[in-house]
Amino acid sequence: MQQGPAAAGGVDVLLAKLQERMKAFLMHGDMRAIDDNALAEAAEVLRMSARPAELMDLPGHVALQLGWVHWCRFLALVDEEPHYATALTLFRSVHAVSPDKVPGLPRWLIENSGSHPSDVDMWSMLAALVLQQEADDPHVPTLRQVAGLLDRVLAAAPEDHPERQGWLYNQGMVFGLLHRNTYRLTDLYRCWSCLQQALVLTPPGHPHRDRNEALLDKVRIDPDRLSERGIAALAQHHRTGELTSAEDAVAAFRCVADVTPSGHPKRASILNNLGTALLTTFERIRSADDLAEAISVLREAVAEAEYDFAWSTLSQALRHRFELSRDASDLDDAVDAARQALIATGEGAIAPLWSNLGATLHDRFAHSGAPADLDEAITALRRACADDGTTGPAPLAALDNLGSSLISRGSRTGTTTDIDEAVAIHRSALEQSPEGTTGHARRAGNLANALVARFELVGGATGLDEAIALLDSAVRGLGAADPRQAVEHLADLAACMVLRYNLANRRHDLEQALVSYHQCLDFHDEDFPARRVPLDGLGMALVAAYEHDGRLADLDAGIGALREACAITPQGGRGPAPTMSRLGTALRERFVRSAELQDIDEAVNWLRAAVDAAPHGDDNRPAALTHLCGALHTRYQSTGDHADLDDAIDAGRRAVDATPDGSPHYGARLGNLAGAVVLRGLRTRERADADEALRLNRRAVKLLGQDHRDAPLARHNLALCLEIGRPQDNDRTVREARDTFREVAGNASASPTVRVHAGIGWARCSARAGNWADAARGYAAAIDLLPMLASRTRDRDDWEHGLGDLAGLAANAAAAALNAGDRALAVQLLEQGRGVLLAQEFDERGDLTVLARSAPDLADDHTRLRNLLNTLGTDVRHGVARRALVRQWHELVDQIRLVPGMERFHRRLSVKELLAEAAQGPIVMLNVSRHRSDALILTRDRRIVPVPLQDLTPDVVAAKVGEFTTRIEEIAAPGAGIRERFDAERGVRELLTWLWTTVCGPVLAALPADTARIWWSPTGLLTTLPLHAAGVHGEPGDSVLDRAVSSYTPTVEVLRRARTRQRPQSTSTSALVVSVGRFEGDALTTLPVAAEEVDIVRRRYRQTVAIVDAEATRDRVLDALDQRHEVVHFACHGHSDLTDPSRAYLALHDHLRHPLTALDIAARDLPDVRLAFLSACHTTRTRDALADEAVHITASFLVAGFPHVVGTLWSVDDNVARSIAADFYSDLDEVERSAEALHHAIRARRDDAPLTPSLWAAHLHVGP
């Protein structure tokens, strides 16, 4: 199998990378060059080389490079035996063709039949042989291999092996030759160390004693000169970031320390230098061994002498160990060491020591939250900046630390003065740092963090933009020089991107943040503790996406990332309190969405853990307490457990008590506490609770002011508190509540969701006062805002969830208008407040489609602004931003209305337009509300006739619907007997009689006697009842079936759109029949008569395409629908999903794997279709809260373009369904007579079996 050009190019690139890696190892001893990444690259080369059956079949240049990879891994003592065997296999394939290309040692082994890698004698002999050959003309890669062999010998042989001193001598020679060629101090140190050990093992009189002494004399260490070289290497590392320079410094100082005896006056300084160099390497590669050695060396240094810098360096090392262990005693010891450094210096204390003390105290504050530590840190750091012993600028490290400490204090107290000073300090430090250095890049990151802190206090997109630019330059500036620090700044950059996304809804920012967090995680793939921060950030970013777009998948993914972050707890330390708090809050959000109790229980547990993990004085503690208060509050509302409410109030009080008065969070935390107290007041009716809730809410509103992001929500909560206020102040407090609700509803800086609920609150208060005209205005304000909520960034099910919270809005609005005597407004509000999802779908295919054709830029602006207004929510930093967007929205809508044909864009249908749709027959809008219940009849002579339904209330309807559902389920129960079914049918008849007496009879009595056609448009739970079958059956009496032909429509607008889509019947109508009587698996019962419905349709339409049983898969049926058959007939099972109605489906053959859902159908746009007949169960059933939204299978066919749809309200008997279908098609001469044909079929079945309405009343017609 040959490689294509692209694959070949990829192999060459990887081979070149591997070659550079091997050079780094063989020339410089860089162990990182042959890490697991090298092995992964080698595996990728093998994969791209078509995975030959035998390694011997690889191309020669590929086999040679891969052989080097495994040979170097063997030399480095990494899983030696497998790599040794693989290397020799690969080299043998090369040796067979070009022996000279195989490196010397493997070639020797191949030509001498190889050797087992544990054969110490063989390795030592081979090393001595090669060393002898290389002595005169050393070759660095070969010497590295010899060093690897001798390391293997020394590791494998016992300590008392008689040849050990000889091997050490040879190893010393090898590293001496390497140093002569590389000038690496690490090679010099290994040379000297091996020769020292060899001499120790060679007793006086030993034949090799003189030889060993002579060679050691040649590498005598000059401590002063070597110290200078170490200092120079460390300085070079700080300039360039090269790790090899830091490693050379460690080697130099180790040599000097080894030759400097205890008690020597310079030993403390030398040990301090060694500890400093070890800390430097630790900061780059995070080796715990380096850190442990540094602490040990530095403790020895301070024991030698009271050396100030050794104390200071020890303090830094202990701070680093705290980062790994989270053991507070390390921080305490670090502070003590920093103080000892100043004591040792005495009057001559200098800036670096003060700076170190300040930084250490700041670290302890960050852990313990003790304000005294932070204040002392700032004092020490100011001293460091002012007391540098020169007339020049303050030390940069001191400026860095002072700026960070001021940010902490400003963020904690809400003091902008501290934050502004921090910005100025970090800007000054950046200006003093030479461009192009790692120091400049780090300080760019510091300034960015200060700007972000100021943004979080006072807002300002400019500062955030500058922070993002600075962090981007820091990431690029650090790059390969300090990749770990670069990745830390990349995580900061991602966090800033999320903030800007929250502010401006720039989707690119969020996407870039997610990419950046994943890059951080890729970098820390094997560094488990370091993954916590990017995982935390990734979780926050995904939750932010959910809060804006409402996509449940984002929330689930965010919770997953936060869980993983919480699982990363440093050894000996506590879990990360902020991350646990965020996880608890996210779980609470999901509970609000899904109502799964396990989510809210887990949320409470995580938030309690977050409180326990955050020390007193740390702002993470009141933040966690605030979230705990909210979670307990939420759980109480679900379970009614009084203990939860009491605990919520306790947590809220502790959060407020722990928050400084000047904190930017104080007002919001007061409001949070007030919400819990309000609930307890509602429960206990205690005057004290009501008074406290009102006091807390007023204070929160005052503290937050007008433009704070939480101000509208706080004012809304104040209004709620006033609404349930004290009885003796009823009139006054209700008026204030109404005025406050009205203000929030009209506040352009509030989110649309808050404004909608404020409008509803305004209406409630006015209704309570008997001011129905004002109540109608409040409801109208809420309904007017619904288009702003219809963001296309949300998934359909997410939007359904939001609308479910507004159930009953339209009904209450219409009732208020009727109480105010305004019939026209009642009809308009009832129309505009229902079917929002349908209107949105039709707008996308209608108004917006037309607009996109005539003015695409305006259509794009409309979608962008609508999404912005929906997603800003409470995350916007300034109310000014939202007001500006609302102004743009209104200006844009006005501009769109100037486009020819778009004059009615986003306008409610006028009364004249609504009444015009009744020209073909009365439209009956049935409204059930807690205020009143009525039928609003739009008559053929264009009048609105209200018919009061005095015996109808929401509670009565709910009870009747529950009873009706129970009776239908009893009839369909598999084990039901004849008596049980007879009793249940009698119950159904009684309910149909009640429906006639209470609802339909009064309506028909108000209509002319010759009324032959009615369109029903019910609200709420009335949508689940068969109005067309209401009446007295099985005994003398009247009924709807005997008076008029019935059709249904979710709204008048839907009926108007269906009529506009009607087409004249063609001379040869084509039909599609989908018949499924047998299904995958055994979850559904077979439908033996389903196939008969194919023949029924074929008898009516000659051009009929049938898809039957196994052929009827989701994809096949969707393809067939796209062929635009005028008539579509489904004979199969139907499944309703009351949890997620858009997932209701028609059960095709592959329904277990690929259900044909309501969403799938609604996604089609079929302009030439005419009729859909759904001979399936439950196609018109939905969740109670979404009854006004018509989220079901039947409506999905309306959206797809079918003007006429026949559906069902419950499960239907197979034989009856076939019979109704047969009568329907035999009577259907024109599709426009679908309603009449169905009416006749149902009435025929009623006449045959009047006592069993469950069999014939389920079918209904929707459309013209």
Which sequence spans correspond to the domains of the chain? 1-117, 119-220, 442-573, 911-1056, 1061-1262
- pLDDT of 7: 38
869: confidence class by pLDDT, cuts 50, 70, 90: low
- pLDDT of 467: 87
User: Is the confidence at residue 131, as pLDDT, over 70?
Assistant: no
Q: Are 417 and 410 in contact (CB under 8 A)?
A: yes
Please give the angle made by the CA atoms of 895, 896 and 897, to the nearest 5 degrees: 90
What digits encode the pLDDT tens for the residues 1210-1252? 888 889 999 999 999 999 988 899 999 999 999 999 999 999 9
Name the range with the highest mean pLDDT among 120-129, 679-688, 1216-1225: 1216-1225
Q: By three-state DSSP, how is residue 1059 classified?
A: helix
What digits encode the pLDDT tens for the residues 345-383? 766 568 888 888 999 999 888 877 788 999 999 999 998
Share above pLDDT 70 across residues of the chain, in percent, rounded to a whole number: 85
Higher local confidence (pLDDT), 964 or 807: 964
Average pLDDT over residues 825-850: 72
Assign domain 1061-1262 to its CATH architecture: 3-Layer(aba) Sandwich (3.40)
> Which residues contact residue 98 at a Cβ distance below 8 angstroms, ignoring those fewer than 6 apart?
60
Name the range with the highest mean pLDDT among 320-334, 809-823, 834-848: 809-823
User: Is the confidence at residue 104, as pLDDT, over 50?
Assistant: yes
User: Per this entry, what is the length of the chain?
Assistant: 1264
User: Is the confidence at residue 799, as pLDDT, over 50?
Assistant: no
Average pLDDT over residues 614-639: 86
Residue type, 995: L
Structure tokens of 637? Answer: 């509302």
265: confidence class by pLDDT, cuts 50, 70, 90: confident
Structure tokens of 712? Answer: 């509208």
Chain mean position to CA 480: 30
**Distance (Å, rounded) from C-alpha 384 to C-alpha 376?**
12
- pLDDT of 348: 59
- pLDDT of 911: 85
**Distance (Å, rounded) from C-alpha 631 to C-alpha 624?**
10
Environment class of 1012 (CB within 10 Å of its CB; exposed 0-12, middle 13-18, buried 19+): exposed
Considering just the CA atoms, what is the radius of gyration of the chain in Å?
40
> Which residues contact residue 470 at a Cβ distance below 8 angstroms, ignoring those fewer than 6 apart?
444, 445, 447, 448, 451
What digits encode the pLDDT tens for the residues 59-85? 778 888 888 888 788 766 545 567 777
Q: Are 155 and 77 in contact (CB under 8 A)?
A: yes
Average pLDDT over residues 918-940: 94
**Distance (Å, rounded) from C-alpha 43 to C-alpha 540?**
36
Choosing among 1.20.1740, 1.10.15, 1.25.40, 1.10.8, the CATH entry for 119-220 is 1.25.40
Q: Which of 566, 583, 555 is nearest to 531 (CA)?
A: 566
- pLDDT of 875: 34
Higher local confidence (pLDDT), 761 or 455: 761
- pLDDT of 697: 83
Structure tokens of 817? Answer: 């208008």
Structure tokens of 454? Answer: 């100021």
What digits encode the pLDDT tens for the residues 942-993? 999 999 998 899 999 999 999 999 999 999 888 888 889 899 999 999 999 9
DSSP bridge partners of 1175:
1131
- pLDDT of 658: 87
- pLDDT of 712: 83
792: confidence class by pLDDT, cuts 50, 70, 90: very low
User: Is the confidence at residue 874, as pLDDT, over 60?
Assistant: no
1017: confidence class by pLDDT, cuts 50, 70, 90: very high
Q: Which of 644, 565, 666, 552 is nearest to 600 (CA)?
A: 644
What digits encode the pLDDT tens for the residues 1129-1163? 999 888 877 667 777 888 888 878 888 888 888 87
Name the range with the highest mean pLDDT among 445-459, 769-783, 901-915: 769-783
CATH (residue range 911-1056)? 3.30.420
Assign domain 442-573 to its CATH architecture: Alpha Horseshoe (1.25)
Same topology, domains 119-220 and 1061-1262? Answer is no
390: confidence class by pLDDT, cuts 50, 70, 90: very low
Higher local confidence (pLDDT), 583 or 905: 583
- Per DSSP, helices labelled H in 479-618 are 483-504, 507-523, 532-549, 552-566, 577-594, 597-613
**Distance (Å, rounded) from C-alpha 409 to C-alpha 374?**
7
Question: Taking all residues of the chain, what is their mean pLDDT, rounded to a whole number?
Answer: 82
Name the range with the highest mean pLDDT among 193-197, 380-384, 697-701: 380-384
In terms of pTM, does the model score above 0.85? no
Average pLDDT over residues 37-54: 70
Higher local confidence (pLDDT), 998 or 108: 998
Average pLDDT over residues 1199-1203: 89
